Structure formats: structure tokens, C-alpha cells
Amino acid sequence: MMRPSLEEIREAGERLAGVAQVTPVHTSGTLSGLVGRPVSLKAENLQLTGSFKIRGAYNTVAQLSESEREAGVVTSSAGNHGQAVAWAARQAGINATIFVPDGAPMAKFDAAVGYGATVINAGAGFDEAVAAGLRHVEETGATFVHAFDNPRVIAGQGTLGLELAEQLPPGPGTVVIPVGGGGLASGIAIALRALRPELSLVGVQAAACAPFAGRTPVGPTIADGIAVKVPAELTKGILRDLLDDVVVVDDAAISRALVLLLERSKLVVEGAGAAPVAALLQGLVPGDDPACAILAGGNIDATTLRSVTRFGLASSGRYLVVAILIPDRPGQLARIVAAVADLQANVLSVTHHREGRNIGVLETEAELTLETRGEEHSRELVAALAADGFAVRRLT
């Protein structure tokens, strides 16, 4: 397959006019201060269907022949691409079947069903879902709309690059892009290398699944939207030629970035969407020129958001969990709570353990979850409790 040209990306932009939104670029004073360089956010999480995927899906479906429309479309997706294909198929009045990995986020699963698609669970991960989708194509003759190994899809995603070329200020800068299968990064890179060659382009992958960074996948990640184990030769070639670098962030960094965006920028993003911000906060993107992070998607269900938020608060020191060994007699817990109150922390929960923890006959262990102002405050609390004579263990 041939990589799409700038002209094909521009043609995709014409098809998407009045369909996909031109999403805003917000400057962030908070992130700029934390990172030490001007930072802006391309809020693609506000896009129709909640992610950039509508661009590539619609551009592909809009170019189907009449016979292809009659047979319908099939795709495999962790969620966002499936939603987008389902929406585009509904607009075109054709059937869509979506194969999703087991455990795909319910918000994404339900949205695809709501758009009228048939959604089928198929295997443990994205690659297994692709295999199931291709088998279905052989049986039905439907058209397979691959999430990234498709020039029409890449051209559609490249329209985001057309927008950035006009929205970003003149002069040098860096665009930080989440990378899963590489379709988004490929499209953006083709457009920006042609229109804004002075910009640096940095891809970001999740540590648990970072094949573009030369790592072997090791397990699940909260950034499920970029958890692609085997990228396509097409996108590998494009990104090898056009990206300046690929960096890797872990789930703890992603969760902290997600919480920061929620609290300070009032933007809800999923793990994949928060990855570029995590890379900036970790100091992994070199330079001091203006940086733009692509918030690729915002489709995170409420239960996942709750879990990730708690994890992010804990990893940034905002939640402190300590185990304290104390004599098993009245008044000891009150001493602990008073010490915590003196340092302006909030007690979220208290659990007692009297067995199974190498606890003496006349001892007990109190496990406290505390809400703090951050890591420095957490360390201050641990030191104060230890100074008050308690044996304190910080739990992670």
C-alpha cells in the first residue's frame, strides 16, 4: 500500500467539512509552568464520537462503491475506531460489524451499539479482534476498515495535521502525538512535514505496549487506545521516515497527567489522550520551544475514570496509605488521628488488623488512607507520625 499524499489529505478535509469539528487548541498556563516551556492542548477529545477516529472512518466509508456499501463494513477496535466506523456507517445507511477485545471499555462498547452496529467480543487483545474481523470478511464479503493499516484512514487522520498547520504559532515548535498503530501520527506527520517542516514531531507510547520504541509488549495498560502489539508495515515506514523521536511513559505518569488535565484544564481524556501530557511532565520531550500535546480521545467510562483518578492521586502523593503498628489499648487511634489533623490531612478510611501481619499479642495495626496536598505533605505526615513514636510503613 502507498502512503497517502498531502493532496489526498486535503481531499479528505473536503469530505469532512461540516462533519468533523475543527477542534480547538487551548494554551495551558498550569502545564507551561510545570514543564518550563509554552504548552498547548489540541482538544481532539471534544471531537464527534469523542476522538480523532471519526476523521479516518468517515473518509473511508465515504469513498465506498455502491457494491461495497451493500455488503457493509467490518472493523476491529479497542473502542474509538469502532465507534467512529459505526457512526460513519449509520450516516451512510450501511451495516457495520465491530469486533472488540474482551474487556473493551463499556463506554466505547455501548456507544458503537447505540450507533446501530453489531458488536462482537473477540479475543484478549486488538490483534485477536483483527483476526476475527478478517475471518468475518471472508465469510460475508464486507469491506474491512482497518484502524490504521489503510491509506484512506491515514489521510482522514491527517486532516488534524492540516488544522494544526494553521492553529499553531509560526516558528519552531514540537507536536507530541500518541502512537498506537501509528495511523494518527502518520497522517499528522505527512501533513506537517509538508506544511510546517520547522516543527519537531515526537510520538508517545505506553510502556506496557511500545513496539515503535523497540519494546516487547508486557501486559495491559490504562492507555488501551494505543495498546497495539503489531503495527503495520505502512505506518512503520512512515513514522520511521517522519518522526523525530518516540518516547515511552508508564501508567503512573499517564494517570497523573489525566488527573491534572481533569483538575486544572477541565478536560476529560482517556489514557491514550493523556500520554502526550505525561511525556511532557516527565521531561521526555527535549527543547524549550512551544509544545502542543494531542489529546486524542476522551472516551473513558465512569468506573475506569474513578480507578485511574484514585491511582493518579496516589502516585502523585495526594493519597497516602500508611500502616502503623500501635499498642492494642484505648486512645492510640485517637493519638494518630489528632496528629493527622494537626497537619491538615483528611482521613478517608481506617482499617484495623490484629492477625496475619506479624503483629504481637498486645499490638494492632491501623491502616489509614489519607488525603494530602501532595508528595511533600505526605512525607511530612510520615515523618511526624514517626517522630511521635509510631512505627510507620508507607504502602503503595
**pLDDT at residue 388 in the model:** 84
Three-state helix/strand/coil letters over 126-160: HHHHHHHHHHHHHHHCCEECCCCCCHHHHHHHHHH
> Rounded to two decimals, what is the model's pTM?
0.85
Nearest to 187 by CA among 155, 212, 225, 233: 155
Q: Place 325 in a pLDDT band, splitting at 50, 70 and 90.
A: confident
Three-state DSSP at 203 gives strand
Q: How confident is the model at residue 385 (pLDDT cuts 50, 70, 90)?
A: confident
pLDDT tens for 102-160 read 776 666 677 888 888 998 888 777 778 888 899 999 999 999 999 999 999 999 999 99
Q: What 8-state DSSP symbol labels residue 215?
A: P
β-pair type (39-42, 96-100):
unpaired
In this prediction, residue 329 has a pLDDT band, given cuts at 50, 70 and 90, of confident
Burial environment of residue 151 by CB neighbours within 10 A (0 to 12, 13 to 18, 19 or more): buried
Q: Please give the Cα distance from 21 to 359 (Å, whole number).
A: 60
Bridge partners of residue 118, in order along the sequence:
97
Contacts of 145 (CB under 8 A, 6+ apart): 57, 60, 61, 73, 74, 75, 85, 153
Q: State the pLDDT at residue 393.
A: 86
